[in-house]
Structures are given as structure tokens and as C-alpha cells.
Amino acid sequence: MAAAKIEKLQPAVAALDQISENEKSGFVSLVSRYLSGEADQIEWSKIQTPTDKVVVPYDSLAPPLEDLEATKKLLNKLAVLKLNGGLGTTMGCTGPKSLCIVLRSLSKSEVHPVLIKLVRIVVNPSDLAGYIKNYTVHESRLPDWSVIEVRNGFTFLDLIVIQIESLNKKYGCNVPLLLMNSFNTHDDTLKIVEKYANSNIEIHTFNQSQYPRLVVEDFSPLPSKGQTGKDGWYPPGHGDVFPALKNSGKLDALLSQGKEYVFVANSDNLGAIVDIKILNHLVNNQNEYCMEVTPKTLADVKGGTLISYEGRVQLLEIAQVPDAHVNEFKSIEKFKIFNTNNLWVNLKAIKRLVEADALKMEIIPNPKEVDGVKVLQLETAAGAAIRFFNNAIGINVPRSRFLPVKATSDLLLVQSDLYKLVDGFVVRNTARKIPANPSIELGPEFKKVADSLSRFKSVPSIVDLDSLKVSGDVWLGAGIILKLKPSGSNASDKLNWHLMFVTFGNVAIAAKSGVKLQIPDGALLENKVINGPEDLRA
């Protein structure tokens, strides 16, 4: 049955002129593996907890090099690759997620240095005076969805560029940035990348593979049935980063420049920054692959974890876990770490394994429906490749290196006073004494970025917040109030202005059905449950 399906599939794929020969052969190979049922079954009894030699504690790494010239030499071995194939549709954004606005409401102390960097790469110098006055810039040549307003903030890509530019300037090194796009994000990203032309950073883009969706009924490519638009295709997961690097020519180009390692991370993880300690450890110990892991919380129980299995380190995903052991897998007592998808990989090792066709990562079937037709897309994950590399390790990093923005609740965290911006780096506020971030749950009314921003008149202070739950037709006013405190006996003396914000402690705000609940400007809420205006007066 499987052989017959492949025999039928091959000529149909060969007739697709929208994709390359490499993509055609890669797709047929992926489908063949899927139909053969090829999968290494995990024997639960063989799973072992990795030792500190396999998952290295971050605190045990040697301190950063003090010699600037040695650090420059080390960094010149590195390239940064951001996975840029995803759209921001789940948060209501249009276009590539990396180009959605991330931060807003910068303080004046933060605006000036960032403006200097951003103005140089975004606007003409002649516009500077008006730009600083209004903290706003619109560039007509950019698509509507990418309009940048400094008053409202930066995109993920803006921050990534500023971070690497700062690194290159500080050490006099040349760390290039690669963006792996999908066919969904390629055109828009190219338009945006133009604005960084004068920055101190090399930016290269390439596309991951484009595969046809499979019609479940007969296992034929959807485009061969007339669906030739974007809905007929899909990007096959970030596991495709390794062959895509090779097929695009970028891998050989990096090797010719003396690059040895690539740091791969999701573009929406604001904690995924270059770490000199990690790079130094990998170079000194000749590790071909490193996965950053971090301690699990109850919010991360479904995340993949590293195990020792038959003498090698391996990623264990929940889909591989037998039903009888799922609860055990979710336990934060036994499986204490999870994959951040921050990966450091040796470039020569990638070349060796791709050329040998040795990267047979687990296949993730992802069923979809297109215009009423049930389709299947087969994907792979980059983290699953760890078991194919020599001397592969994990490093148990601080939680600060995992700061993804997947939902508007995450966005609220990074826009708040819980973090500040320093040279493009999102740095946690030291005033927060509790190690964990606040737990934030926003109802469906806040799911899209535009809706969330409109319902929060300003971002509340959450530095002392334990948890916040908001649901229903809730509108939160400006968090700042001005409180008059005369400094002397005369009320007309110099004024001392204090800032107070909307949420402290544990707060739950749930509007009753059919009721519009408005939280007034300057409200100070501490350990409150609010269902109506009367609760505000209590």
C-alpha cells in the first residue's frame, strides 16, 4: 500500500514546477518515511536522567573572557539565525510575526539612545527633529502593517538587529544575522530588511523548503488538484533549517568566512541573545550541538525534555510518550527541564550530516482542512536532531533566556514595568523580588493585539503582581495618577509627583455578561476580585 502511494505520488510531485528539485526529493523522502511507519519507539525503562556532563548547569560554565581581542576572535566564529517563517495571525497581526510591534511606552531615558539607533536605519536625518518631537515615524514605502511608531514600540526584528549591532560595535567583530523565511514571510521580510542597510550588521535571508499539502483521501499533492495558491503549500517545520541552509548556499558561504557555529532561535523569543559563555564552552569542548533547556514550571509540562537514551542525549516529546506514562512525563519532579528551542550547532557537522542524508528526525503529522478538503502536512523539529550530532549536550540556562511572545498575555509582560530596554536587550526589572513572572490570563476579548492595546489605555504596573485574570467586556484606564504632596506648609510649594498603577497582588476582573466594566484611571487594585463597578468601591 505504501509503495503504491509513493509510486503514484512521485510523478505528481515531479510535475510541480513551483518548487526546486531539492524540495521535490526532500518531500518525497519525508512522505516515504512517514508511510513506512519509520519511527524509533521509546522503551520507557531505558530512559535515564541526564547527568551534569550531558545537561551542563549554566553556573558551571567558565566566566566570560576578559581579553577583548580573544572575545572578538571567538565571536567571529559565530552566526545568528532566527527562525522567521511564522505569521502573527494568532495575535491578529498581518505579515511576518517578527515584524509585529513588541514594545511600547518607552520612558524618556530609554527613548533617546534607541531613537539614535532606529532613526539611522529607518528615517532620513532631515526628519529627526519632528521624529523626536512626536516619537512617531511613518515610512510610506513600507507596508501598512509594518509602520513603526516609537511611542508604541519596536518589532522583534528591530530588537534583534540592535542587539547584534551593539555586539559587533562593542567587540569589533562581525556576527552576521540570517533570517530563515518561509514563502509566507519572504517578500514582506525583504522589504523590511532594506531599512537596515546602513547598520553595522550583515543580514542574509533564505527560504526554508516549500512542500505541497497532501490530500488525505488519495495522498496526492493538493496543488495538482488546482489549489496552486499559498493554501496548497506549507513550510515543513524548523527541522528543515539544516537542509535549507545547505540547499540555499548559505552554509558553504558561512564556512568560507571562517564561521564555526550558528545560534538558532525563534524570532519571537526575546531572551534568545548571544551568550559568550555558552559559545566559549562549545568551542573549547568541541560540542557539535547544544540545546538550551530551562527548569519547568506548571505552565511548561507539555514541553519536550532531554533524556539519556542508549548512550546518547535525545529530545523526548509528549507525542512519543506512552499513554500510561503521560502524567509521569508532565511531572516537574522527574522531568525537570524543557527545550527552549535555543540551539547552537556546529556548521561543519551540519554539512556532514545533510550531505549524508543522516538527519532522520521524528515526523510530526499536522492535519488541516483547506476549503473543505482534509489535508496533511508532515513536519520536523530542529531540536529532534540532537541525537545525530557527536558530543551533543544541553545547557540548563536561567529562565531569562526563554521569553517568548506567543499571546497578548506575553506581550503585556514584556511591555510592562517588569522589563526595561537596554541597547535592544529586554532586561528584567531588579525591583521584582519574586523569581517567577506573574501569571496572566486574558480572555478572548484580548486575544488580538489591536483589541488588547485598545482595552488597556496604558500598560499597568505589574512588578509586584502575582496573578491577573481578565475576562469579559473590560476596559482598563490609564494606570497613572498624580498625587499632590506639598513639600512644605504652603500648598503652592514645589510638587512631588508620584506614579501609581493599576494592578498589585492578585487581581481577577471578570465583567458580567452584557456589562461593560470600566476600570478608572489611576485605580490601585490589590488582592481584588471585581465583577462590577460596586467592587471597585469596596
- Residue stretches of the annotated binding site for substrate: 238
- Going by the annotation, the residues of the binding site for UTP are 97, 208, 237, 268, 406
Q: Which residues are paired to 395 by β-bridges?
A: 56, 292
CA distances from 221 to 211, 245, 263 (A): 9, 25, 34
Instruction: Tell me which residue has cell 511608531.
Output: 149
Nearest of 343, 353, 344 to residue 246 by alpha carbon:
353
Instruction: Tell me which residue has cell 560595535.
Output: 169
**Angle at the Cα of 288 from the Cα atoms of 282 and 294, rounded to 5 degrees:** 65
Does residue 183 sit in helix, strand or coil? Answer: coil
CB 121 within 8 A of CB 137: no
CB 485 within 8 A of CB 499: no
Cβ-Cβ contacts under 8 Å for 228 (sequence gap 6 or more): 18
Return phi, psi of residue 402, to 5°: -130, 95
Nearest of 203, 212, 211 to residue 267 by alpha carbon:
203
Which grid cell is 34?
512517514
Range 11-39 burial, b when 16+ CB lie within 10 A, else e = ebbeebeebeeebbebbbebbbbbbeeee
